[in-house]
């Protein structure tokens, strides 16, 4: 056998081995992806005690809260967006100040927004207030991301049909994609972390 044929044969064997190991890797990744332990690494539930404390207090599903936190900040308490939103639930300082006033929190200052408990308290209260106003998960999330004023406008202009709310009808692309991501997380958290019935 010529040297060229030997090299070609070795190359073919090597390629088959690499392909085999890649296939095994994909299979293992898929199998692990079906296990609860692995999925909980992808969808963790840090700050659970704090989240459930305020979620039950304000009457909103804690799994919706943790889903928002996952997509807003990836659980990094000192996150800050280019728009100035801060903390785990990415609160705008002006919004947080208004929430503090509603809650009678006279000691509020903007640096409190990097405190996990304070940020979760305010963000959860805000989600609950949006729930009271819109009473629809898609609209709640759209308002959280795009502003309650815009959601009211879309409803008033019949851009969104209140009788049949669909996320694809949300005019803002960024908000539409945000709602989709949070709902996807919400579904996974609901599967992975059964919680007691909250007060509706």
pLDDT tens digits for range 146-183: 999 999 999 999 999 999 999 999 999 999 999 999 99
Contact 141, 135 (CB under 8 A): no
89 vs 117: CA distance, rounded Å: 11
pLDDT in tens, 11-24: 555 666 676 557 65
pTM: 0.81
Residue 65's closest CA among 109, 113, 131? 131
130 vs 124: CA distance, rounded Å: 10
Helical segments of 74-161, H only: 93-103, 116-134, 137-146, 148-156
155 vs 160: CA distance, rounded Å: 5
Q: Work out the mean pLDDT of the chain and round it to a whole number.
A: 88
Q: Does pLDDT of 86 surpass 90?
A: yes
Domain covering 47-192 assigned CATH 2.40.30.10 in the classification: no
């Amino acid at each position: 056998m010529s040297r060229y044929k030997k090299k070609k044969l070795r190359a073919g064997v090597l390629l088959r081995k690499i392909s085999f190991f890649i296939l095994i890797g994909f299979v293992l990744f898929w199998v692990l992806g079906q296990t609860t332990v692995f999925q909980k690494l992808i969808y963790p539930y840090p700050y659970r005690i704090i989240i459930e404390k305020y979620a039950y207090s304000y009457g909103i599903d804690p799994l919706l809260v943790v889903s928002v936190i996952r997509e807003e900040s990836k659980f990094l308490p000192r996150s800050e967006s280019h728009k100035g939103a801060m903390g785990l639930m990415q609160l705008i300082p002006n919004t947080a100040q208004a929430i503090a006033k509603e809650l009678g929190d006279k000691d509020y200052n903007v640096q409190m927004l990097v405190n996990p408990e304070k940020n979760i308290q305010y963000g959860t209260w805000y989600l609950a207030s949006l729930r009271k106003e819109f009473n629809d998960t898609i609209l709640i999330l759209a308002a959280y991301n795009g502003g309650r004023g815009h959601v009211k406008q879309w409803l008033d202009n019949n851009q969104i049909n209140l009788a049949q709310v669909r996320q694809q009808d949300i005019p803002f692309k960024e908000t539409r994609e945000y709602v989709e991501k949070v709902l996807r997380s919400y579904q996974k958290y609901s599967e992975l972390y059964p919680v007691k019935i909250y007060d509706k």
